[in-house]
Amino acid sequence: MRKGFTTGSCAAAAAKAAAYMLLSGKEKNRIEIETPAGVMFDAEIVDVVRGVSQVSCAVIKDGGDDPDVTTGAHVVAVVSVASQSSEALAAEPAVEIDGGFGVGRVTLPGLDQPVGNAAINSVPRFMIEKEVLEVCRLLDFNGVLKVEISVPEGEELAGHTFNPRLGITGGISILGTTGIVEPMSAKALIDTIYVELKQKKELGYTIAIVTPGNYGLKFMKETYDYDLDKSVKCSNFIGETVDMACLLGFEKLLITGHVGKLIKVAGGIMNTHSHEADSRMEILAACALKAGADAKLALKILDCLNTEEAMKLVEEAGLLESTMKIALEKILFYLDFRAQGRIKVECVLYSNEFGILAESEGVKECLK
C-alpha cells in the first residue's frame, strides 16, 4: 500500500518554500525535505502569495492509502521577518513557530505541547526549524523568521479527530514522528490511546477507566452515570492499553465492554479485532459447559452468529449468571497475567439485551 506524508512534513516543506521565496525573491513550485525517517519528501508547492514582507504557500496533505481525514487539506505556511524588537539582530538565524487558523490550541495538560501553545508537536517543530534554518544559512540571513502554520479546513476536520476529547480547540494538530504516514497504521491509534491515558494521569486520575468503543461509553453513562470525558476509548488494543496504564503508573484499570468484544479476552486474546482472532462462540460454549450446560446447548452456541443470540440461549437454560461469572473470571485472569502485578484490574461485562452480565468486586469503588 502507498505511504503518505504527515501534516508535520507538509508544514516543514511549506515553511521551507515560503522562507526561500521570501529571502531569495524567487518563486518556488517544488521543494524537497528530508523526513526524520530518512525518506525524502518532494513536495508540490501551491497557493503561493508573495509580498515584500511575507510569503505564504501551501502543501496539500496526501496520506497515501491510509484513511486519514486530513488528506486533501491545505497545510499553509506564512513566513515573515520578525520585527527589530524581537531577536532580529541575532548573530545566528532563528525561527519562531506558531499556529494560525485551523491549527488547534492546547487547553489541557498532558499533551506534547504545554497549555496555550499551538498544537504543533515537537517533531514537526524540529522539522520546520531545521528546514527554515537551512534556507537562512544558504542565503546568509542572520535574523529571526516567524513561521505561522494554518489549515483552512482544520476547524471542520477537527470534529473527526480526537482533538475535542483531548482539550485541543479550534483545529487539527500538526503531527508526525517519522514524517511518514503508514497505511492503516495501528501505531497511530495506539499512540492516541497513550496520549489520552497520559493526559488523564496528569490531570490527577489514579484509575484508568477504559472501554473499547462508543457503545461502552454510552453504557457507562446510562448505567453508572459516569462522565464520558473521564474515560478513554481503547479500541481493540486491550493488551497494549493494560501495558500503557501500567507504564503511566495508574493504580487501577477498569475495562467496561460488550460481551461480544471482551469474551475474546477470556481466551487470552489481547487484540480483539476480528482480523486478529475470533473464537467468541468457542469460548462462550466452553464457559457454558463449565457452568453446567450439556453438549446440545454447547453445539447451539457454536452455531450462533453473534453473542447476543448466544446469550439468549444461555439465559433460556438458566445458566446466564453462572456462565458470565466464569467468563469474567477468565477475563480477569488474562488481564492480571498481562499486568503482572503492576496494576489492579477490574472489569464489567454487558450485553444490549441483558445489561450488566457480570462485574468484578471493585467496580463500584473505582467509579466513585
The pLDDT assigned to 268 comes to 96
Domains, the chain, ordered by start: 4-181 (3.30.2110.10), 186-367 (no CATH)
Which tens digits make up the pLDDT trace of 83-130? 754 444 557 899 999 999 999 999 988 888 999 999 999 999 999 999
Whole-number Å distance between alpha carbons of 160 and 109 = 21
The pLDDT assigned to 88 comes to 45
Distance of CA 55 to the CA centre of its chain: 33
The answer to whether residues 252 and 344 touch, using CB atoms and an 8 Å cutoff, is: yes
What angle (nearest 5°) sits at the alpha carbon of residue 319, between those of residues 235 and 276? Answer: 25
pLDDT bucket at 165, cuts 50 / 70 / 90 = confident
Q: What mean pLDDT comes out for the span 31-55? A: 96
Residue reference for cell 481503547: 234
DSSP strand pairing (252-258 vs 232-233):
unpaired
The answer to whether residues 57 and 66 touch, using CB atoms and an 8 Å cutoff, is: no
Whole-number Å distance between alpha carbons of 126 and 248 = 26
The pLDDT assigned to 85 comes to 46
Range with lowest mean pLDDT among 119-123, 182-186, 271-275, 306-310: 182-186
